[in-house]
Amino acid sequence: MKQPPPVLLPLLRSPFQGELLAWLFLHPGEEYSQIELATRFKVSPSTVTREIDRLAAAGLVGTRKAGNMRMVSADTNVVVARPLTELLALTYGPVAVLGEQLSGIAGIEEACIYGSWAARYSGEPGRVPNDVDVLVVGTADEDELYDAARAAERQLGREVNIRRLSRQDWDSPKGDPFLETVKARPLVRLTIDKGEDQ
């Protein structure tokens, strides 16, 4: 089934194309196998192959064989690399950046993006938001969350607001208008690497 053009960046063919490009261009110098990319984005290997073939033909990504794997990386030498990276950071960057910035911070049980950015990512029409709102559930240190938000802002070129809630508050939002609103609207879950010691 054909997906509609993404609301965040309608000049792209699909949300997956935006996610893939953002991941590759916001991790310059890193290589990923096609299987790794299929797993990360929860799509079939054939979907990744088709998209990589298109991007390689356009000169946006480089590929090489490593045994029986095809490795992929952003071609940062192409003339459009810098403006494309900036555009991707502003549109699809939050998912690619925020999970990594929060990874390793002790006490995070789960995290998600909410508000206008999550709504656009989920297909609701409207302008691309100026900021990104993140909800962290757990007992993470507020100073570490603040530092992560500032680091993410530098990468994304926009304001990042992180709000921490206890597990109890998140699980029982009754009577809290803010939480009831957040849960009634789209949420974009972030993949957090909790590390071995958490």
Q: Would you say residue 67 has pLDDT above 50?
A: yes
pLDDT category of residue 4 using cuts at 50, 70 and 90: low
pLDDT value of residue 30: 94
Does any domain span residue 198? no
Q: Which of 48, 75, 91 lies at the terminal end of a domain, its last residue? A: 91
Q: Would you say residue 5 has pLDDT above 80?
A: no
Does any domain span residue 8? no
Does any domain span residue 6? no
Strands (E) across 67-140 are located at: 69-74, 108-114, 131-138
Residues 165 and 111 in one domain: yes
pLDDT category of residue 98 using cuts at 50, 70 and 90: very high
Check which CATH number belongs to the domain holding 149 and give it: 3.30.460.10
Could you tell me the residue range of the domain that residue 183 belongs to? Answer: 94-189
Least confident of 1-5, 80-84, 152-156, 172-176: 1-5
Check which CATH number belongs to the domain holding 24 and give it: 1.10.10.10
Does any domain span residue 63? yes
Higher local confidence (pLDDT), 5 or 155: 155
Residues in CB range of 7: below 8 A, 6 or more apart? 120, 121, 123, 124, 125, 126
Residues 84 and 98 in one domain: no
Does any domain span residue 100? yes
What's the burial of 66, exposed, middle or buried (CB within 10 Å: 0-12/13-18/19+)?
exposed
pLDDT category of residue 198 using cuts at 50, 70 and 90: very low
Q: Which of 42, 61, 91 lies at the terminal end of a domain, its last residue? A: 91
Q: Which of 26, 57, 91 lies at the terminal end of a domain, its last residue? A: 91
Q: Would you say residue 97 has pLDDT above 80?
A: yes
Residues 51 and 32 in one domain: yes
Rounded to whole angstroms, the Cα distance separating 192 from 187 reads 15
Average pLDDT over residues 13-29: 91
Does any domain span residue 3? no
Residues 85 and 145 in one domain: no
pLDDT value of residue 7: 76
Domain count, the chain: 2
The DSSP bridge pattern shows strands 131-138 and 159-165 to be parallel
